Structure 1
Amino acid sequence: MILAEAKLAPETGARCALSGGRWFSEYNQVWVTSASSLDVDHMVPLAEAWDSGTSTWTATRREAYANDQGAPASLIAVSGSSNRSKSDKDPAEWLPVEGYRCEYAGAWVATKLRWQLPADPAERDALTRLAEDCPDTTVTYEQVPQ
């Protein structure tokens, strides 16, 4: 994941230690030059997913959700500080910088649809407002069978 999102590939040393490399953290639009400063974020955080219904899933299905690398929108490498700012918040409570909001909204919706997770009223209202500001955003996803 971290390697795949590198804009400039790092070198892999002993014990898989990464050196060099360069990543762009979409949430706060900053360049990151140390892999240790990155977090892999769940587009729809695990706590939000739990509140949206994963609490009723089998452990195997929850594990598949948590490790979903089958869709580019599910997981994203971002700066640790931006990931901590987002935490487990949904779009009604947190948004990335303006330059990434349309793509973020599309990725959020794609992830929710992919896993058949509902949106609560506040989340739906926030996403509707974002959609009005993002008329060119296309949501594409492949649904995971139940």
Structure 2
Amino acid sequence: MRFARSAAVLAALVFSTTAHAAPAAAAPADRVTLPVRDALAQLPLRTEDRTGYERTKFRLWVDADKDGCNTRAEVLKAEAVIAPAQGPRCALSGGEWYSPYDDRYILGRGGVDIDHLVPLAEAWDSGAFAWTAKEREAYANDLGDDRALIAVSAASNRSKADQDPSTWLPPTTGYRCQYVTDWVADKMRWGLSIDTAERAALTDVLSRCPNVPVAVTPAR
């Protein structure tokens, strides 16, 4: 499992798209592959505006494939280092997860959060304010690209909150190249913009990282 590896190994990987078990809610488009710095250069630059944002405008944790497990459970199952036991109505117990943000292993799902790599509020600021409710639901439950939703420690997720890379980066420095590369890929996938401070932070981190190719299937 990708997140079960050490931070040092993660930093050396070539980052590519693989999918969780459930399909994306949006119809797929043609796949695009670019070096990450070129992908960053193509992201539109706009001033962000949080006017009108409410978390409830993004419907969370749906069961898109009707298998009894919602989005949160699907990510927990997909990213477990040691698989949890699954009971009736997809009740999960036990299991172990690796949190790449702070290089920790976590026993039991109680200490694990599912992080939206690009937070919901940041997505709103960057273009989701203009989306339909269905598009926002698809974003909030994106299982079509395993960079979008990540099982991490609750502590690191709450430290990050709704910040972008200009004000928050993972404490594990060896993971930062993957983090910002995935951030660029996720914004590219959803056609989201970046602001000036965000672009400067991404450019700075990526200047010290391999210019790896990122493969993205646009979600809208």
Range class of TM-score, shorter chain: over 0.9
Which runs of 5 or more structure 2 residues have no equivalent in the other structure?
1-74
Answer with 1 or 2: which has the greater Rg.
2
Instruction: Please state how far the C-alpha of 1:85 moved relative to its aligned partner.
Output: 0.5
**1:55 paired to 2:129:** yes
- The answer to whether the 8 Å contact 1:114/1:144 transfers is yes
Is 1:122 the equivalent of 2:190? no
Within a 5 Å distance, the mapping from 1:7-22 to structure 2 comes to 7-22=81-96
Q: Tell me how far apart the structure 2 counterparts of residues 67 and 12 of structure 1 sit (CA, whole Å).
A: 21
Counterparts of 1:1-146 in structure 2 under 5 Å? 1-96=75-170, 97-145=172-220
The one-character-per-residue Cα deviations of 1:51-97 (angstroms, maximum 9, x if unpaired) are: 11100111111111111110011110101110000000000010002
Aligned identity (percent) is 54
TM-score (norm 2): 0.63
> Alpha carbons of 1:57 and 1:31: their partners in 2 closer, same or farther (altered >3 Å)?
same
What letter is aligned with 2:92? Answer: L
Aligned length: 145
TM-score (norm 1): 0.94
Structure 1 runs of 4+ aligned residues shifted over 3 Å read 13-17
Deviation at 1:13, TM superposition (A): 3.2
Mean Cα deviation higher: 13-22 or 109-118: 13-22
> 2: CA distance between counterparts of 1:18 and 1:67?
19
SS of 1:111's partner is helix
Task: Give per-residue Cα distances to partners, 1:81-135, cap 9 Å, x unaligned.
Answer: 1000000000001000202101101110000000010110000000001111112
Cα offset, 1:15, TM superposition = 4.9
* Greater relative contact order (Cα < 8 A, sep 6+): 2
